[in-house]
């Protein structure tokens, strides 16, 4: 379908804005710009922040969101979530409203991971942090009020990359067990050669130039891009948990996401992909911009509720 008209108007305004000149200014501008698109806060039953040991014992925050309407003391399925931001920007605070919406849509307790950012912490440290948080959640399921047999891993954009890689890492390291993957427009390959990069690599929110910069901040060197933990599309995928991939129509990452879903299926993994019509990268933040951004949450909710045997929202 055509590009969503609300997003089209927003992109026209955005194209006239001056770009920040340094890393900290870029981080601040992204934080403010995306927050302005999110719309009103969604109510949830509870929010708790835990400090957990990350890679090498570094303390990490993990923020737990209990969905609105959850019965007191109920044991819930969980979604361990890695936020997007190209590995070098965005925060636990920016993802407050998206995680609220995910908790309500999925019926899961969402555990948002404040992994360390590049370039201060390069590959594989952000991934190791997400894996450490996943391991901590599984080990403390009783304290958290979650079912250890119903833990999903998820993320969007670079967070989708970290989620997919953490699932591969959990398989390779013998656990913890993961019941499902929720990958929202993930980065899965250190390459820029797909047709969707050619079609949407400029003027559709995420550009090829920005994506190249994201990889530059994350990797120690170009050779790291060939690692299956950096580029899950290049990994052996047999034995991974079932996956749902939500992919934006007007996104340079569209084709690699579709390719990843297909490679999962070829490896015998139950994988479903859904293209979000009219959407651009980062639409998880756009509930305040266009009502059609709600479809991401509707599909995420349907997928995890089905995976975990929960009633439809």
Q: What is the pLDDT of residues 259-275, one digit of tens each?
A: 999 999 999 999 999 99
Task: Answer yes or no: is 49 within a domain.
Answer: yes
Task: Answer yes or no: is 258 within a domain.
Answer: yes
pTM passes above 0.95 = yes
User: By CB neighbour count within 10 A (0-12 exposed, 13-18 middle, 19+ buried), where does 46 fall?
Assistant: middle
- Indicate the number of domains in the chain: 1
Q: What is the pLDDT of residues 79-107, one digit of tens each?
A: 999 999 999 999 999 999 999 999 999 99
When pLDDT is averaged across residues 17-35 and rounded to a whole number, the result is: 85
* Cα–Cα distance for residue pair 49/183, rounded to 1 Å: 23
Residue 278: give the domain boundaries. Answer: 5-17+37-308
- In sequence order, which ranges of the chain are alpha helices (DSSP H)? 5-14, 23-35, 96-106, 125-139, 141-144, 158-173, 195-200, 208-218, 254-266, 294-308
With contact defined as beta carbons under 8 Å apart, do 235 and 175 qualify? no
Task: Answer yes or no: is 206 within a domain.
Answer: yes
Task: Answer yes or no: is 217 within a domain.
Answer: yes
pLDDT at residue number 15:
67
Task: Answer yes or no: is 28 within a domain.
Answer: no
CATH code (residue 112): 3.40.50.1820
Task: Answer yes or no: is 27 within a domain.
Answer: no
Task: Answer yes or no: is 248 within a domain.
Answer: yes
When pLDDT is averaged across residues 111-116 and rounded to a whole number, the result is: 98
* Cα–Cα distance for residue pair 101/106, rounded to 1 Å: 8
Catalytic residues: 157, 251, 281
Task: Answer yes or no: is 304 within a domain.
Answer: yes
pLDDT at residue number 221:
95
Give me the chain's average pLDDT, please.
96
């Amino acid at each position: 379908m055509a590009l969503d008209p609300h997003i089209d108007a927003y992109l026209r305004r955005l194209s006239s804005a001056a770009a920040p000149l340094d890393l900290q200014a870029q981080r601040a501008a992204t934080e403010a710009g995306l927050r302005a698109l999110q719309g009103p806060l969604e109510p949830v039953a509870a929010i708790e922040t835990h400090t957990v040991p990350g890679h090498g014992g570094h303390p990490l925050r993990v923020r737990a969101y209990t969905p609105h309407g959850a019965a007191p003391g109920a044991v819930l399925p969980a979604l361990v979530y890695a936020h997007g931001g190209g590995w070098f920007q965005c925060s636990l605070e920016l993802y407050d409203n998206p995680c609220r919406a995910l908790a309500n849509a999925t019926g899961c307790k969402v555990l948002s991971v404040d992994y360390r950012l590049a370039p201060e912490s390069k590959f594989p440290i952000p991934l190791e942090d997400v894996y450490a948080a996943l391991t901590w959640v599984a080990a403390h399921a009783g304290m958290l009020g979650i079912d250890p047999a119903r833990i999903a891993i998820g993320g969007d954009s670079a967070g989708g990359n970290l989620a997919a890689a953490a699932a591969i890492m959990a398989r390779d390291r013998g656990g913890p067990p993961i019941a499902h993957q929720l990958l929202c427009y993930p980065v899965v390959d250190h390459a820029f050669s797909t047709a969707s990069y050619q079609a949407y690599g400029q003027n559709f929110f995420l550009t090829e130039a920005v994506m190249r910069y994201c990889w530059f901040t994350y990797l120690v060197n170009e050779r790291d891009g060939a690692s299956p933990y950096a580029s899950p599309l290049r990994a052996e995928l047999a034995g991974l948990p079932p996956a749902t991939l939500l992919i934006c129509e007007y996104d340079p990452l569209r084709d690699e996401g579709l390719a990843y879903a297909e490679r999962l299926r070829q490896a015998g993994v139950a994988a479903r992909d859904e293209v979000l019509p009219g959407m651009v990268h980062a639409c998880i933040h756009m509930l305040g911009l266009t009502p059609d951004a709600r479809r991401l949450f509707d599909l995420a909710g349907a997928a995890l509720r089905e995976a975990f045997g929960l009633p439809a929202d």
